[in-house]
Amino acid sequence: MTTDRYSRQVLFAGIGEEGQDRLRRSRVAVVGCGALGSMQAEMLARAGVGFMRLIDRDFVEESNLQRQIMYEERDAVESLPKAVAAVDRISRINHEVISEPVVCDMNYANAEELISDADVVLDGTDNFEARFLLNDAAVKLGKPWVYGAVVGSYGVQMTIRPHETPCLRCVFPDMPPPGSPTCDTAGVILPAVAGIATMQVTEALKLMTGQPERLHGALLQLDVWENRWTKAVLGQCDPGCPACGLGRFDFLTARSGQLATTLCGRNAVQIAPGSRKEPKEPKEIDLEALVTRLRGVVDVNYNRFLVRFRAEGYELTVFPDGRCIVKGTEDSSVARSLYARYIGG
């Protein structure tokens, strides 16, 4: 470990030499490498965290550059997967950090494996279904995780230590109803992202340096535009909570068929093939073979990470794990039909 690199951080009494050594030996999983996740990853890399697994299903687009600070224009031009682009940047920021890109959709079949060896998990997702899934996996495995969400100029943050603090489902028993504000309807500004990501990383640093007593123990809410900051102190775990109270992990239960997810702010639907609990034997699409089949039918662009083409007025992006993002619709039936027509079973 380079002594000078972390000298100012070591001088900070809250970390010191011992804390820095703990950070060097820590393993972090960042789930989602969008606005929150990309900022979390950069701060953690600069802080000297030893290992980061960066998990994201998506690729970089021009509209990301306003708020997703790890990415550059060339990443959008090349349509790089966000996890890959983030790891490339980390290698330029801090070569001492080991970072692993995982280009996949976190779902019931792989969630536990993806976070099983992490000391702390950070939430960079953009929807509550993914957060409830992450909550179930973290509570089941006893992994502390740091929740955060932003829309418009407003953000919330909470740190969850399974069976020590309320979990996400204790505080939010139900997912927000359809029609709730999203970045598609309300937009989002970078200062709000920075505020929540900063709190998430600070809480993670406290956990990794062995100082849980310094966690704020609340649901923090801020609105950077309206100059509001509130702190709702959390109570005890809810004994009736399906996850931490009853040990029932609904979101880890297998569901048959394709998984369709409307993507925040994208006017797009992701279609993922029905998953089997066989993470050691993933079924991947041969992208070159797919390109060969599509040529002559549609105009195709591709690299080793993805295939992209337009069909019937929609843009389809296909990944090696069989996922497809259908842009131009929020109707899952339309997306499924296009998937079946151009990609197959």
Q: Give me the active site residues, please.
A: 183
Amino acid (one-letter) located at 17: E
Instruction: Please give the Cα distance from 340 to 345 (Å, whole number).
Output: 6
Structure tokens at 294: 């599509």
**CA geometry: angle 80, 125, 243, nearest 5 deg:** 145
Q: What are residue 65's phi and psi, to 5 degrees? A: -65, -20
Structure tokens at 87: 């790891």
Amino acid (one-letter) located at 44: L
Amino acid (one-letter) located at 161: R
SS3 30: strand
- In a 13 Å sphere around the CA of 190, the CA atoms on its Cβ side amount to 10
Selection from 302, 335, 255, 321 nearest residue 104 by Cα: 321
Confirm if 201 and 52 have CB atoms less than 8 A apart: no
Helix axes 35-47, 190-208, angle to 10 degrees: 40
